[in-house]
Chains A and B, each alone.
Chain A
Amino acid sequence: MQNSEILTQIKNKFPDLFVEEQSNAVVIPKTALLGIVYFLKNEMGFTNCHCVTAVDRKDKMEVVYHLYSFSNHFMLTLKVMVTLDDLALESVTPLWRSADWLEREVFDLFGIKFLNHPDLRRIMNPDEWTDYPLRKDFKGRILFQDRRRKGLKDK
């Protein structure tokens, strides 16, 4: 199985969508995410959501899904672009339970909101933390300790 094959399959199924292939990944529009992953899981046999992550491209965010099909022995890299002014997209947790924590991690480290996620909380960082450490504009030198100390003084 090839990326192009899946691309044509998706194009046949959703003819009016703009789907393209970029550096070994299939890029799909945000609005069609749920429809396409539903199609991929139920009809293309991608039963395993191996990994969900994101990349900060400075002008936009990429959410990257690694889906795996045990029957076809194929790993599909699926990308969804998210604009900075609307950092939210649908959660795939209802389809794959494994996406639960992975999406929480993306939310925690990038600040991308997943709509309809059952339990969207920070997973690594403390709940009162306001920054998103894996964004490129995050300054690593601001120590959490200092903030907490300031916060305590305010109270």
Chain B
Amino acid sequence: MGELFTVNMGPQHPSTHGVLYLELVMDGEIVLSCKPHLGYLHRSIEKIAENRTYTQFIPFTDRLDYLASMNNNLGYCLAVEKLLNIAVPPRAQYLRVIMAELNRVISHLVAIGTFAQDLGAYATPLFYAFRDREKIVELFDEICGGRLTYNYIRIGGLSGDVPAGTEQVIKDFIKYERKQLVEYNELLTYNVIFLARSKKIGILTQETAINYSVTGPMLRASGVKWDIRKEEPYLVYDKFDFDIPTGTAGDAWDRFKLKLDEIEQSLRIIEQAIGAIPEGNPVSKVNRVFRGSGETYMRTENPKGELGFYLVADGGLMPYRCKIRSPSFSNLGALPELVKGLNISDAVCVLGSLDIVMGEIDR
């Protein structure tokens, strides 16, 4: 056995997805132990929440999982609405579903692109993914004026109605994206090298996944048929017909493939929702400043997993405590277990397949 040495991977490293810092103890190329160090992006968003009114905090949720801002907005607004029993106009509910699913699609696209990049497919899949993402980002830009941080979903509704012609744009995108999914499968999913690199790597069993409180695509890739949208439907998800794709082995390839399958399911939901949007005014009629009391815990299905907001209110204008249970945080917790004994190349592959965003891990 050779001499052990420590490799400090990150916080500045091409494949640690932001500012994650992994302390790897290595024996040659084999990772013996992995110790993640967090906090390089810590902005204390939970403390900020205690010093902002309920409405003022919405833009901060954009900065959690910055690839899925709509879903974060949605999670927070649903938590506040649950706390205060605020009703949401039906048109807003349908539009929220569409926005959340579109955002899920583009978040998964980024995950696919960066995962391929981590496996050494230089930039090409990433550019393809971003090309598709661009269409939705531009649509969001038109709807709410932001390309990354949307602040579109508000407490009790939306900040505004969608512009005319949006439906057609989304319909075109669905048609286009279905074609692209075939291309991703050809370029990556069934590529021999890709299979050799990601199959049977970083296997996460069902028990371990549940014990680590892993959620979202990672949990489903391990074979647990679990989706909050089905189990505890919020908004109008119970009106749509969609499947929950699951993996069988729980390896990196399953986690990758699952995202492609989920894109397809999201497209199905959007397709159904677009046909059924009711008329009306989706704009929120709730006062900007209000008092709340009580406690609530609301979780929603984010692209990365279950995003939970634990709100404690004491009758003041601002939340007394706002705990954000972020999916990437718990998912990353399983990393040391997964990479133990793997090659450093595989460790990078596993990390890529977890699909983490440091913004919501460090908060």
Contacts and interface: CB of A to CB of B under 8 A. Distances in A.
**Complex: A in contact with B (CB within 8 Å):** yes
Interface of A: 23-25, 47-51, 53, 55-56, 64, 66, 70, 73, 75, 77, 96-98, 100-102, 109, 122-126, 133-134, 138, 140
B39 interface: yes
A23 B295 contact: yes
A77 B46 CA distance: 20
30 contacts: A47-B211, A48-B211, A48-B213, A50-B299, A50-B306, A51-B213, A51-B310, A53-B310, A55-B320, A64-B310, A66-B308, A66-B310, A70-B210, A73-B231, A97-B212, A98-B212, A100-B333, A101-B329, A101-B330, A101-B333, A124-B38, A124-B362, A125-B42, A133-B44, A133-B47, A134-B46, A134-B321, A138-B47, A140-B47, A140-B51
Contacts, number: 85
Contacts of A97: 208, 211-213, 333-334, 337
Given A64-B310, A97-B333, A50 B226 contact: no
Contacts of A25: 295
Q: Which 10 A-B pairs have CB atoms at the shortest separation, nearest pair first?
A: A98-B213, A124-B39, A53-B323, A51-B325, A124-B42, A55-B321, A101-B333, A97-B211, A97-B212, A98-B212
A102 B297 CA distance: 16
Interface string B175-219: 000000000000000000000000000000000101111100000
A102 B363 CA distance: 13
Contacts of A56: 321
Contacts of B323: 51, 53, 64
A53 B321 CA distance: 10
A109 B39 contact: no
Size range of the chain B interface in the assembly: 35 or more
B294 interface: yes
B354 interface: no
Contacts of B214: 98
A125 B47 CA distance: 13
Nearest to A53: B323
Most buried by B among A47, A64, A97: A97
B277 to A, nearest CB: 30
A40 to B, nearest CB: 14
Contacts of A23: 294-295
Contact of B210 (A48, A55, A77, A100): A48
A64 to B, nearest CB: 7
B312 interface: yes
A48 B215 CA distance: 10
B210 A47 contact: yes
Most buried by A among B306, B323, B325: B323
A35 to B, nearest CB: 20
A55 B333 contact: no
Contact of A123 (B39, B47, B232, B320): B39
Contacts of A138: 47
Most buried by A among B232, B295, B362: B295
Nearest to B310: A53
Interface string B26-56: 0000000000001100101011000100000
A129 to B, nearest CB: 10
A133 B294 CA distance: 23
B311 to A, nearest CB: 11
A41 B299 CA distance: 21
Contacts of B308: 50-51, 66
Contacts of B330: 98, 101-102
A47 B38 CA distance: 26
